[in-house]
Structure 1
Amino acid sequence: MASLIGETVLESNGQAPAPSKDFYQLVVTKKEVIWRFWKISLRSEFRTTNPGELRETHKEYLDDYSLQAQIATVLCDSIVSYTLNLCRSNFDYLEHLPNALLLYVILYLDLEDVAQLSQTSRKFEKLCSSDALWERIVENSCDTITPEMRALSKELTDLQDYTDYIA
């Protein structure tokens, strides 16, 4: 299963809180944590500042509370928690599976299980409410889908898109 995970296991970008305009990038690989930063300033003393990069092994990162606090400020506390888990080799394998494969697996669940799965993470909420999943569920549940049914579905989708647009 570990072979499914590429070299980069997490990548996240963010901008420092106002009034700062600095940009940051966090990359967690199988061996290290990389924190990149770009200082954006109109002040003359910072105009020539080059982008920077901090690289730490997983073990070093686990003990670097200053870097963890900086990441929490720019990105969020949940990213820090997730990176700490990654550095402790607690990988979330489901996060790295392709959506097509996850949708294929979800098709075998009961509808109640799909509803419960959708509440476990943002990724599964998005997958469980996707049109692709529900179209396949309806196709598997119905003997035939007539052209009239498809036309009605398209009309309802267009109507929903329109009401979302004007709202």
Structure 2
Amino acid sequence: MEALLPEILYEGNGQAPAPSKDFYQIQITREEVIMKCWKISLRSEFRDTKPGEYKESHQDFLDDSTTQFQIGIVFGQSTLEYVLNLCRGNIDFLERLPEPLVLYIAKFLDLEDIAQLSQVSRTLEKICNSEKLWERIVESSCDQVTPEMRSLAVAIGWKSFFFTNKLQLQLKLRRRKKGQQQSH
């Protein structure tokens, strides 16, 4: 499964808190943690400072409380926890699946399972509430999606369309058709 991982597992940018203006970049690869720093200062002693780069293995990073502290200050505690988990090998492979594959899998799930999957992460929540997923669900649950149905679904949203009962849909389709006839 790890062979499916990209070389760069995480990348982020941040600025140190005031009064410092230093700019940082962090990159977590399959093998190491890379921190880059650019000193931003008007003081003459830092004027010619070149950007710094610091690399260490995942295990060395896990033992390095100074670098962990610096990441927590610049990027926040949630980023630090995420980086620590990556370095420990705790990788969420579901989160890393391509969106089309997650959409394909999700259309076979029960509604309760989609609701639970949407609570796993922001990325999965976005996919579980996407128009693409609900369009696929509607298409797989209906014998036929007519052009009028498709037009209404696009107007009100595929998820809303799915949860609207048949009587309400028929009423909305009639009103929409009547409105289109009156505008011509």
Normalising to structure 2: TM-score of the pair?
A: 0.77
Distance 1:111 1:66, change over 3 A: same
Q: 5 Å matches for 1:13-28?
A: 13-28=13-28
Larger radius of gyration: 2
Cα deviation for residue 145 of structure 1 reads: 1.4
TM-superposed CA distance for 1:69, in Å, is 1.1
Aligned ranges for residues 6-155 of structure 1 at < 5 Å?
A: 6-155=6-155
User: In percent, how many aligned pairs have the same letter?
Assistant: 59
Q: Call closer, same or farther: CA 1:138–1:79 in 2, change over 3 Å.
A: same
Alignment RMSD (CA, Å): 1.7
**Which deviations, in whole Å up to 9, do the C-alpha atoms of 1:14-65 show, x marking residues without a partner?**
2223444332111111211101112223444333222111111112101111
Cα shift at 1:7: 1.8
- Residue identity matched to 1:115: A
| Count of matched residue positions in the alignment of Structure 1 and Structure 2 | 157
Secondary structure of 2:61's aligned partner: helix
User: Does the residue aligned with 1:54 lie in a helix, a strand or coil?
Assistant: strand
Q: Please list every run of 5 or more consecutive structure 1 residues that lacks an aligned counterpart in the other structure.
A: 158-167
Does the Cα contact within 8 Å between 1:26 and 1:36 map onto a contact in 2?
Answer: yes
Name the structure, 1 or 2, with higher relative contact order (CA <8 Å, separation 6+): 1
Give how far 1:138 is off. 1.0
Instruction: Judge which range, 70-79 or 108-117, deviates more.
Output: 70-79
Listed as ranges, the gaps of 5+ residues in structure 2 are 158-184
Q: Which residue does 2:170 correspond to in 1?
A: none
Aligned residues of 1:13 and 1:24 also touching (Cα < 8 A)? yes
Q: Take 2:150 and 2:58, find their aligned partners in 1: how far apart are those partners?
A: 52
